[in-house]
Amino acid sequence: MSADKEYTYAQIAEHSAKKDLFLVIHDKVYDTTSFVDEHPGGEEVLLDVGGQDATEAFEDVGHSDEAREILEGLLIGKLKRQEGDPKPKITTTTSAATSANNAAGLGFGIWAIIFSGFILAYGAYRYSQYQEAGVKI
C-alpha cells in the first residue's frame, strides 16, 4: 500500500481487530497488525485505540526514537479529514513542550529539596558540635 493513500475515519474504524488493526497518529495512518504481538506494552494497549486516533495515547507514553522509527515502517497513508470528524486531540509541539517543562520543573524542585535538607543537616551538626564544646551562641 502506498503512504500517499488517504483514509477516512469511517474506513479506519473498520480495521479495529487484532488481525486487522489501523491507528491514526498525527493524521497519519498506520497498519499495526504485524506489530500487535511484538508491542512491549501488550496487545491490549493497541486494541484499545484500534481503528481510531491514537495520537494522545501515543504521546502520553513518551515513546522512544526507536519506537517512532518502527512506526514509520508501518505507515500506509494519511488521514483524510471530513466534516464532522473529531478534531485532533494533541499536537507534537504542545506535548513535547509540556513534557520538557514538567521534567525541568520537577528536576529543579527535587534538587532544591535535597540542597535544603543538606543545609539543615549541616546546621544541626554544627549546632551539636558547639553544644558539646560548651560554646554559647
Q: What is the 3-state secondary structure (H, E, C) of 21-51?
A: EEEEECCEEEECHHHHHHCCCCHHHHHHCCC
Q: Tens of pLDDT along 72-102?
A: 999 999 988 887 777 766 554 444 555 555 5
Q: What is the mean pLDDT of residues 22-48?
A: 91
SS3 helix, strand, coil % of the chain, rounded to 5? 55, 15, 30
The pLDDT of residue 84 = 75
Q: What proportion of the chain, given as a percentage, has pLDDT over 90?
A: 44
The pLDDT of residue 108 = 73
Q: What is the mean pLDDT of residues 42-47?
A: 90
Residues 100, 70 share a domain? no
The pLDDT of residue 89 = 61
Residues 129, 106 share a domain? yes
- Is residue 114 scored above 60 in pLDDT? yes
Contacts of 31 (CB under 8 A, 6+ apart): 1, 15, 21, 22, 74, 76
**What element of type H or E holds 66?**
helix 65-73
In a domain, 117, yes or no: yes
Q: What proportion of the chain, given as a percentage, has pLDDT over 70?
A: 82
Q: What is the mean pLDDT of residues 25-43?
A: 91
We report the CATH number of the domain holding residue 12 as 3.10.120.10
Residues 76, 15 share a domain? yes
- Is residue 30 scored above 50 in pLDDT? yes
Residues 39, 10 share a domain? yes
In a domain, 86, yes or no: no
Q: The domain containing residue 98 runs over which residues?
A: 92-137
The pLDDT of residue 94 = 47
The pLDDT of residue 14 = 94
| Total of domains in the chain | 2
Residues 103, 73 share a domain? no
- Is residue 122 scored above 80 in pLDDT? yes
